[in-house]
Structure formats: C-alpha cells, structure tokens
Amino acid sequence: MIAPLVLGIETSCDETGAGLVRGHELLADAVASSVAEHARFGGVVPEVASRAHLEAMVPAVQRALATAGARLADIDAIAVTAGPGLAGALLVGVCAAKAYGLALGKPVYGVNHLAAHVAVDQLEHGPLPAPVIALLVSGGHSSLLLVERLTTGVVALGATVDDAAGEAYDKVARVLGLPFPGGPPIDAAARTGDPGAVSFPRAKYRDGTLDFSFSGLKTAVARWIEAREAAGLPVPVADVAASFQEAVADVLTRKAVDACRSHGVDHLVIGGGVAANSRLRALAAQRCGAAGIRLRVPRPGLCTDNGAMVAALGAELAADGAAPSGPAFRADSGMPVTSIVAG
Ligand code: KG4
Ligand code: ZN
C-alpha cells in the first residue's frame, strides 16, 4: 500500500515552511524566511513574523506542490506546528492548515514543533531506532529526551534551566557585533579562532543531572569583552567565538553521552537549529564514537525550522493510525515537549 502524502506547515517563529512527505521520503521542502526583516532589531519581532507568514503561506504551499509535481487534491493529510512558538505566528499556520483540511476534507494533525525536530532525521537516515536519546537544541529549547516511539510520547530527561543554547548563540553574537541569528556567524568566525583561547565556564558540567544552563556562560562572555574594552584592548572575535562555542558543545555532548549511558541507550539523535553547528556535530561524532554510541544528525538544512519536519511527524502519525486533532484544536505557544499532538 502506498503511504499517505502529508503536507507539513511550519510557522512557529520566523520561517514559513511547507513540506511534502510520503512515508520517510522527502518530496518537497519550501521555506521562506522573514529573518532579514528582524535583523535590525537583533531578534524576532512577533508581529512582523506573523505578517510575513500571512504573505508567504500560500506561495510556500504552491512551491512545495510544484516541486513534488503534486496537486492539492493529492494530499492525504495535513500536519501543522501547534506549538511551542510565537502565538500569533503559530495561529497563521494553524488557520491555514484548518482551511486546507476543511477544503480538501482531509485530517489535520496539530503537532509539537520539538518532536518534529526529532522526526525529521528519518527523512535522511530512515526509521529511528527504539529507544533513542534525542538532544534537542534550538533557539527556544534545549532538552534531552528518551524516545521509545515518537508518536506515543517522549520522556523529558533534562532541559535548560535558563537560556536555550540557540538563545546563548544569538546573545553572544550581539555582544560580539555579529548579525542575528547568531549561530551561523559564530560558527563561521570560530573556524579561524582558538577554542582554548578563553576558558569560559561550563555550568552544570558535572552536576549529575541532565539539565543545562547557558545564562552564566553568556554573561561571562559579555564580562570578558567588557574588561577587554575597558583595558583598551581589541576583542579577538574569532577566539571568543571559538571558545564560547567549545563551552556549549562540550556541555551538550557530555550530557548527551551521559544520558545514553545512564539509560542504557546506544543511539543518539540531535535536532533543532543548533544541531547545524559544525563544532557540535564534530564533537558529538568524536564522543559518541569513543562511547560506542551511534550518532544521527540530519543535514544542516533540515536542522533549522522547515515544513518537511512537520510533515515527517505527520506522516508517522498517519502511518500509526493516530487520531487527528479535533476541529477546535488551538495553537499553544507553551505546548510541553511531552505533548505530541494537540487535542
Ligand atoms: O530550530 P530553529 O531553527 O528555531 C527554533 O525552533 O528556535 O533554531 C534557531 C536557532 C537560532 O538560535 C540560531 O542561532 C541557531 O538555531 N543556529 C545555530 C546554527 N544555525 C542556527 N547555532 C549554532 N550554529 C549554527 N550553525
Ligand atoms: Zn525549531
């Protein structure tokens, strides 16, 4: 039997994504970003993002259909990010998904953005092994999850107690005078820097929990730069970027390996925008290799927000015969990581 064709819609932050997936096959991944409109504010402006989603939504779906050589009528099910994310931005995607669902007479799944970041890896590397530990690192979240079966729930093992990893990248980029979002420019600057130049703190490195903390690290970088400037010395941007990046990758990979060991799991998957980071990928590969853990990380383009990841989770829910969301389901900006489908 041919697997259902699933349209995935993503509008939780500043990317308008429309993806088409059949089973684990990626057929189209159309993304329009409003990032350039937010850059001068140093962060995403919710109202600007919502308006950009409104304009980009239908063209993104049309582009995805054209790429896949499919028509609207070919779609068997629709999945949309119901949360977490910016309330107004989520609303645009949820309303669009409901409208397509109603017009086409097809089921709609309101899904969790974080679970979708994990599901997307299957489009590149096939079905996820069970169980698997997932390290989820994005602009708004940093979590370690134990995943037995993504469609029936995940167990939260640890999370950041303050800033998310991506948030730390964005804030450190700002103090270094690098553009928003900060992850890519720090990643690029770090390539020519010395990761051992400054020994930044590794909070919660050996505290025995699977929680993270990045706010002290961000402050330590800011203080270091201030002291340097006060002394009339130039700020070595590449060295600071590399040293900061090393501290983040060090803690994330250490805790991810700890999570695998303490739960007797020998597979790790990393997802979310920060999973695009070159040092995190390299250090994770090195440490997993040494610990006998099989590592899976999707290609960078699938790590940052997109519609294909939402379609990937929707396709899995449809394949499992999961009940779609009711017609009255809502966008939930605070949707917990353990809730996979909105009611
Ligand atoms: O998953 P995502 O696209 O959106 C959210 O769900 O938040 O993640 C965005 C975050 C931003 O903080 C961005 O700076 C970070 O991912 N990011 C990176 C890289 N590319 C994106 N962080 C480090 N290195 C990168 N190459
Ligand atoms: Zn995301």
Instruction: State the distance from the centre of ligand 2 to the C-alpha of 93, rounded, in angstroms.
Output: 14
Long-range CB pairs of 44-49, under 8 A, 24+ apart, other chains included: 44/13, 44/14, 44/86, 46/86, 46/87, 46/88, 46/89, 47/88, 49/13, 49/14, 49/86, 49/88, 49/89
Q: Per-residue pLDDT for 14 more than 90?
A: yes
Enter the tokens of residue 285: 């590969």
Residue 84: phi and psi, rounded to 5, are -80, 165
* Token duo for residue 177: 């005078």
Q: Whose CA is nearest to atom 13 of ligand 1?
A: 183
Give the Å distance between the CA of 213 and the centre of ligand 1: 17
Nearest CA to ligand 1 atom 7: 139
Is ligand 1 within 6 A of the CB of residue 138?
yes
| Residue 298, ligand 1, Cβ within 6 A | no
Protein residue whose Cα sits closest to atom 8 of ligand 1:
273
**Separation of CA 293 and ligand 2 centre (Å):** 25
| Ligand 1 within 6 A of CB of 277 | yes
Q: Look at the pTM and tell me if it is higher than 0.75.
A: yes
Full DSSP string of 283-307: HHHHHHHHHT-EEE---HHHHSS-H
Report the alpha-carbon angle 141-319-338, nearest 5. 25
Tens digits of residue pLDDT in 146-187: 999 999 989 999 999 999 999 999 999 999 999 999 999 999
Query: Sign of the C-alpha dihedral, residues 308, 310, 311, 313?
Result: positive
Write the DSSP assignment of 91-121 as a string of letters.
HHHHHHHHHHHHHHT--EEEEEHHHHHHHTH
Cβ of 184 closer than 6 Å to ligand 1, yes or no, is yes
Task: Give the whole-angstrom CA distance, residue 92 versus residue 16.
Answer: 10
Residues with CB under 5 A from ligand 2 (ion): 138, 305
Beta-carbon contacts of 294 under 8 Å, excluding residues fewer than 6 positions away, are 129, 266, 267, 268, 288
- Average pLDDT (311-331) is 96
Buried b (16+ CB within 10 A) or exposed e, 334-343: ebebebbbbe
Is 336 within 8 Å of 307 (Cβ atoms)?
no
- Cβ–ligand 1 distance for 33 under 6 Å, the answer no
CB of 17 within 6 A of ligand 1: the answer is: no
With a 6 Å cutoff on the Cβ, whether 316 touches ligand 1 is: no
* Average pLDDT of the residues of the chain: 97
85 burial (CB, 10 Å; 0-12 / 13-18 / 19+) is buried
Q: What is the pLDDT of residues 112-151, one digit of tens each?
A: 999 999 999 999 999 999 999 999 999 999 999 999 999 9
Q: Is 244 in the pocket of ligand 1 (CB under 6 A)?
A: no
> Which residue out of 112, 191, 248, 304 has the highest number of ligand 1 atoms within 8 Å of its CB and is therefore the one to mutate?
304
Give me the pLDDT at residue 273, please: 98
Taking phi over 0 as left and psi of -120 to 50 as alpha, with beta for the rest, 232 belongs to: left
C-alpha of residue 182 to centroid of ligand 1, in Å: 8
What pLDDT is attached to residue 42?
A: 87
Please tell me if the CB atom of residue 182 comes closer than 6 angstroms to any atom of ligand 1: yes
Is a pLDDT exceeding 90 seen at residue 97? yes
Pocket lining: 272 vs ligand 1, CB cutoff 6 Å: yes
pLDDT at residue 113 in the model: 98
Question: Given this model, what pLDDT does residue 119 score?
Answer: 98
Residue 305 CA: nearest ligand 1 atom is 3
Distance 186 CA to ligand 1 centre (A): 11
Q: Is the CB of 253 under 6 A from ligand 1?
A: no
Q: For 274-319, how does the pLDDT look when each residue is reduced to its tens digit (9 = 90+)?
A: 999 999 999 999 999 999 999 999 999 999 999 999 999 999 999 9
Identify residue 194 by its one-letter amino acid code.
D
Q: Please, where are the H alpha helices in the chain?
A: 35-38, 46-68, 87-104, 113-119, 121-125, 165-175, 183-190, 215-230, 237-262, 278-291, 300-303, 307-319
DSSP H or E run through 159: strand 153-159
Element (H, E) at 25: strand 25-33
In b/e form, how buried is each residue of 272-293, taking b as 16+ CB within 10 angstroms?
Answer: bbbbbbebbbebbeebbeebeb
